[in-house]
Amino acid sequence: MPHENREIVFSMNEFLDALMRYNEMRGGVRYRVHQLRSAGVDKTKNGVADLTFEDGETIGFGESDVLAALIAYCIEHKVPLPARAGKKLIVTDDTVQLVIESKTDWVAPVPIPLKVR
């Protein structure tokens, strides 16, 4: 069966924008990039992130939060994502990648009624 792998690469600005937008979506303050004082992303813990803002507020994001933020960012920016695919994070020094792995054998085939004439 066919197997698809795809990577969506986010710049750090896009990544930070996704996290700040996600924070607003879950009821927090809508911060802007210019209000950010420090950001930490732990590559060894699959993208766990902490953002500290000028008002002293520090917001932590776990792996599931980061995945949800990036998926919401893709939906908001009309980047198509397969619903039934595995998704994971890869963090490098200057980018964050959303890796999508899709196997067609995960979905049961749908029988198509055929009429023989």
**What pLDDT does 82 receive?**
85
d(CA 60, CA 76): 22
111 domain-assigned: no
Q: Is the pTM of this model over 0.85?
A: no
117 domain-assigned: no
What's the domain count of the chain? 1
113 domain-assigned: no
36 domain-assigned: yes
9 domain-assigned: yes
62 domain-assigned: yes
Q: Which domain holds residue 26?
A: 3-106
**DSSP E strands, 14-114:** 36-42, 48-53, 58-61, 86-91, 95-103
Pairing of strands 48-53, 58-61: antiparallel
98 domain-assigned: yes
116 domain-assigned: no
- Give, for all 117 residues of the chain, the pLDDT tens digit: 677 788 999 998 899 999 999 999 999 888 888 888 988 888 776 668 889 999 988 999 988 899 999 999 999 999 998 888 888 888 888 888 999 988 766 556 566 666 666
d(CA 8, CA 95): 10
